[in-house]
Amino acid sequence: MVSILVTGASGQLGQSIKKISPRFPEFHFHFKDSSELNIGDKKALKTAFENQKIDYCINCAAYTQVDKAESDKEKANLINNEAISILSELCQEFKVTLIHISTDFVFEGTKNIPYTESDQTNPQSIYGKTKLAGEKAIHQNLEQYFIFRTSWLYSEFGHNFMKSMLKYGQEKKQLSVVYDQVGTPTYAVDLAEFILKIISSKSNQYGIYNYSNEGIASWYDFAFNIFRISGIKIDLKPIKSEEYLTPAKRPSYSVLDKTKAKTIFQVEIPHWQDSLAKALQELN
């Protein structure tokens, strides 16, 4: 039986993996949140690897508060980079395949065609810089790894844009959302399925891959469809990014090209609007 350690298990992706795990009876899962296993604690991590024969580690642990990271650089770097360096070193030592989640924020976001895995990285925020540093640590320390760059992750779990919009829809009559930042909303349950299918396939096509849902949207489009599908009546106004200033600079364009993942793993990726309808149904 394949043994899988899921770190950061209380986050969106960790909970999404847990949700669909009964559909993969060939796997034995060890779900650990940060209070149970801190990936920056080398001794605790080593003990976890020694006590159980782990085949795969899916690392869902990350510092994801994009704006707060601008003033909390040390903590963001500790979780997104230094801890990843420790984790990847131990994965190499114990021959564990690491599956790590990265972000569209590693790109500058100034292109107007989808980003491929080989495009030049140039993160504009502390969050993006620390996530890229974590990617580089994995590449330096480890041979057997998959890094999946994703974007605009949401689900029925944790804090995310979809749940915030639903909350505002109950509280406000009018809402303004930026329309000049374009990417692709990604349902965490779809990403979880993709990851577990790759483990099932026993693929050794290691490296960096893009994964998001299909299609393109602005944050305004995303919000519009959340309200439309939910039947919420609200006066939704499109605004420019300059009218909604945030501490961290967001990529204005961060659509990801999934050709590599689709070709190598032979997967079909759902459109973001279909997955959004599914997520809203699951939430209800």
Pairwise CA distance, residues 104 & 116, whole Å:
10
Pairwise CA distance, residues 154 & 109, whole Å:
20
Out of 56, 63, 115, 127, the active site residue is 127
DSSP bridge partners of 39: none
Best CA proximity match to 149, nearest among 92, 215, 95, 194:
194
Best CA proximity match to 192, nearest among 130, 108, 118, 275:
275
Query: Which residues fall within 8 angstroms of residue 168, CB to CB, at 6 or more apart?
Result: 175, 234
For residue 90, the Cα-to-chain-centroid distance in whole angstroms is 22
Best CA proximity match to 273, nearest among 208, 201, 196, 215:
215
For residue 208, the Cα-to-chain-centroid distance in whole angstroms is 13
Residue reference for tokens 């990271």: 69
Best CA proximity match to 141, nearest among 89, 179, 191:
89
Question: For this structure, is 154 an active site residue?
Answer: no
For residue 200, the Cα-to-chain-centroid distance in whole angstroms is 20
Best CA proximity match to 173, nearest among 238, 234, 247:
234
The catalytic residue positions are: 127
